[in-house]
Chain A
Amino acid sequence: MDLHELSLQQAQELLRSRKISSEELTRAYLDRVQRLDPQIKSYVTVSGELALEQAREADQRIRTGEGSTPLTGIPYSAKDSLSTRGINTTCSSKILANYKPFYDSTAIRKLKLTNSVLLGKNNMDEFGMGSSTENSGFFTTRNPWNFDYVPGGSSGGSAAAVAAGLAAFSLGEDTGGSVRMPAGFCGVTGLKTTYGRVSRYGLIPLVSSFDTIGPMARSAYDVSLVLEAIAGHDPKDSTSRIEPVQIYSETLKKSENLRGLRVGIPKEYFVEGLDSEVDASLRTAIKQIESLGAEAVEVSLPHTQYAIPVYYLILFAEASSNLAKYDGIRFGLSERDGDGLLDVYLKTRETGFGAETKRRIMLGTFALSAGYYDAYYLKAQKVRTLIRQDFQKAFETCDALITPVAPTTAFRIGEKITNPLDMYLSDVHVVAVNLAGIPALSVPCGLSNGLPIGMQIMGPHLSEETLLRIGHMYQSQTDWHMKHPSCWND
């Protein structure tokens, strides 16, 4: 078995018994990145030297036996929207191409406390705006299962890195499916956490009221180990949740079946436009979950059809404001050879932002303008409440809901990039979760023409434990999560 094939638990056992060192493990990953990533392009920045330094520190900690954790010495990567002190954090935007934060995001800081090893930063759609990484200001990441296909987005780099064995796990970020959708497209397990469960401090925002950081890994169990390390209240994030963090992995270890759980199947998610193979895989997966003792019932989320317009409207509005700080004054790209202040603003933003980002800033600026606010932003917020109530109602009778992650498997590079609306519609199954602020887990549940199919398991606020348990039990009965693209063995 090659080192990159080890699960977190296996790797940790070998590290603790000192059969391998973190430095060896890290070198193995860095070698793979060096060999394979020129084709896959999942990394924007590889911080190899720092990684080796961190690995040696981890080895030191393990040697002295002082409080090593399940993640100590484990090499990981992070979406490039998470601020990393002294390491480029670009959001895959030219406007931040050379931006080095002078502070760590809370999630990164918490991982530093475990002495896990940051290999580098993953490609994404610029500022998270996209579903394929084609909107990256630098390059498009390839789907490891088929290099002609997109990895999904916006956390496409993270998903591809985990799928290709270029990181043991990755921190993604989900605003409207950005963890789940690429996890589904790349055949990895990804968790969109409850809004506020993981501190957003230091996460470069796309939509402040939707953004969530979540782990992407090879199994629900691995996800649970990462979540334990990064979740929790943060006094620096006023929107973070104060409830104590559970030891999810302990629950998973003890779990034997899914008896007593009731899962809902929202009929609005199984309609026209859903690929027949995706549909079939989901039906099979639901049967397997039933066979583990859970009861499956059909439910309705009647306002589902409004999720896409509501999501994008709020996104445009908040993003237009969140992106205002990139003005060439304090950090990032600064075009100063123009004539006066206005020129600095115009030239910096014109050169620095990509087309999709500009489109969304314009739409958001319009939607928030005097005279339009009520018709767009306010109306969207009201419909958002209806969508949230749909879920509340469903969770009165169900512990979780199961749907496909996307209507199809990954699409071809270039297929949708010229049609933004078509691209927006690929998010149809994932955005409602962000509107409601609830958690959802994406687990691989099939393959179609050599491309992974993803199952989405949604639950009420702070139900991560239940979702991970369902995912873990499902994965204990199936091996979809153990299937790998051919580059895995390269």
Chain B
Amino acid sequence: MKYEPVIGLEVHAELLTKSKMFCGCQVVDSITAKPNHYICPVCTGQPGALPVLNKKAVELAIRVGLALGCEIHTESIFARKNYFYPDLPKGYQISQYDQPLATDGNIQIETEAGIKDVRIRRVHLEEDTGKLSHADGNSFIDYNRSGVPLLEIVTEPDMRSSEEVKAYATKLHAILRYLGVNSGNMEKGVIRFEANVSVREAGSDQLNTRTEIKNLNSFRALTQGTDYEIWRQSEIYASGGMVEQETLGFNEATGKTYSQRGKESAHDYRYFPEPDLPPLVLDRSWIDSIRESLPELPETKTSRFIEQYELKPQEARLLTSEKALADYFEAVVAKSKSQAKPVSSWMAGEFMRYLNDSGKNMEDVTLSSESFARLIDMVTDKTISGNAGKTVLAELLKNGGDPAQIIKEKGLAQVSDESFIQEAVMKVLNDNSSEVEKYLAGKETLLQWFIGQVARATKGKADPNVTKELMIKALEERRN
């Protein structure tokens, strides 16, 4: 029998506010900040302390709701989610329940299976918990993170493979970054995933018992965890068993899910409206002004890049995968005398390769768009060769500086002077007589190799077109 997974995703994203959700405490890096130094009566749940809503958190949440095409509700309600845990200082988390801030949105994803819509069921605000750690038989709690604003984004069970899950998560990640509401820094746990997975006979529209996988904190864990769970549930059905409703954890080391809580011990959160906060009532005009301030989102930008700069779809998607990257591309294009095409090849090629290889982000790039534009122009007008351009770019990215200066220092300016190149050609041919023989015997693919040798000998200064011309001429002369 063939099985088909049915997957829904819950995403928790920290909102980039200066202060916490319900108090004035500063939001700090939960890894580097000194523990329990950014706390107050409110976020440590001291008796009698009361929450006061952070307007900025609401604004950022509305941005996301609008960007996902949601309906923003002018009245929503905060609710208490009651459960006991040491990282939850009040014994309840302030969240939203039956009247969330935004509902009914949509994200379009693209996988090899094609383009599809993943429906967003709801977007709501809630507060983060503290952070527990364990060492030497003791447990420690850091409340710096307690009360940091979180956005929960919940999909309908619309995904049918871990590829779709990953495509959705990646797209959402990009959107949140675009909107400037989340740093996107997965290592710091600012985005966390929970997947609801069930499996059914392919083609059926029945919904089977689902399990919930918690703590999927990277794209890799997300893919691995859902894949493992799809396999596990399929195996259970294949052997005639029944999947049990439970909450699962995911072990990154083994790549397996494991049971945390069964159905019997499932929490009853006893939600009820938070009496310490009045209903959140929003002004339509405020929502409209936030809508007007929304940036261009990845999808629109991709289409525009294809049209405006005549990029290939793949290139356009790559360059719009991050807002900072797309902005940088447009800045370089604007400052360059060259067409957009060479700029996009440089960025999608050498530039991205550098970022990937060095593990750096756009924020780490110090090279100004002017310098990059000038460099590309010098390759276009043949002041330097493409190869030399790569060398200069690597130097600029690594150590900074002025492109013209580097070209001068490294002696990379391209030379079209035939006598200079002719000399190099003759030297290469004289030094490699056996290759010359092979070439003459018919191995004409060696031509490129000879040209490469000239480039190397001249440190990339030789104009490759002139080199090629002279090289063919010289080789032909040797044929007789």
Residues of A within 8 A of B (CB): 81-83, 89, 91, 96, 99, 101-103, 105, 200-205, 207-209, 235-239, 317-318, 320-321, 323-325, 327, 329-331, 341, 345, 365, 368-370, 373, 377
A200–B50 CB distance below 8 A: yes
Q: A103 — which chain B residues lie within 8 A by C-beta? A: 41, 46, 49
Contact of B275 (CB < 8 Å), options: A82, A204, A208, A373: A208
A376 to chain B, nearest CB (A): 10
Q: How far is the CA of A98 from the CA of B74 in the complex (A)?
A: 45
Q: Is the CB of A365 within 8 A of B47?
A: no
Contact A327 B91 (CB under 8 A): yes
Flag if A369 contacts B41 (CB, 8 Å): no
Closest to B47 in A: A204
A373: which of B45, B90, B272 is its contact (CB, 8 Å)?
A: B272
- The one of B50, B82, B92, B278 that contacts A201, using a Cβ cutoff of 8 Å: B50
Q: Which residue of A lies closest to B51 (CB)?
A: A238
Which residues of chain B come closer than 8 Å to A324, judged between CB atoms? 82, 84, 90-92
Q: Is B89 an interface residue (CB 8 A)?
A: yes
Structural contact, B47 and A101, CB atoms closer than 8 A: yes
Per the CB 8 Å criterion, the residue count for chain B at the interface is 28
Which residues of chain B are within 8 angstroms of A368 by Cβ–Cβ distance?
A: 82, 270-272
Closest to A209 in B: B275
Shortest beta-carbon distance, A28 to chain B, in Å?
31
Write the chain B residue with the least CB distance to A99. B47
**Known contacts A235-B52, A329-B86, A370-B268; A83 and B92 CB within 8 A of each other:** no
Which positions in B face A, CB cutoff 8 Å? 41, 44-53, 80, 82, 84, 86, 89-92, 141, 268, 270-272, 275-278
Residues of B within 8 A of A237 (CB): 50, 52
The 5 closest A-B pairs by CB, nearest first: A324-B91, A368-B270, A208-B275, A209-B275, A204-B47
User: Which of B50, B53, B82 is in CB contact (< 8 Å) with A321?
Assistant: B82
Cβ of A57 to closest chain B Cβ, rounded Å: 25
In the bound complex, what is the Cα–Cα distance between A103 and B91 (angstroms)? 20
User: In the bound complex, do residue A325 and residue B89 qualify as a contact, i.e. CB atoms below 8 Å apart?
Assistant: yes
Q: Which residues of A contact B82 (CB under 8 A)?
A: 320-321, 324, 368
Instruction: Considering the complex, give the chain A residue whose CB is closest to the CB of B91.
Output: A324
Q: A341–B90 Cα gap in the complex (Å)?
A: 16
Bound complex: CA of A205 vs CA of B271, how far in Å?
18
Residues in chain A near residue B91, CB distance under 8 A:
321, 323-325, 327
Closest B residue to A89 by beta carbon equals: B47
- Chain A residues with CB under 8 Å of B92's CB are 321, 324
Q: Which residues of A contact B276 (CB under 8 A)?
A: 208, 238-239
Given known contacts A327-B84, A327-B91, A96 and B47 CB-to-CB distance under 8 angstroms: yes
Give the interface centre of A101, A103, A235, A324 by most chain B CB atoms within 10 Å.
A324
A102 to B271, CA, bound (A): 30
Give 9 new A-B contacts, CB below 8 A, not counting A101-B41, A377-B272: A91-B47, A99-B47, A101-B47, A238-B52, A321-B272, A327-B84, A327-B91, A369-B270, A373-B270
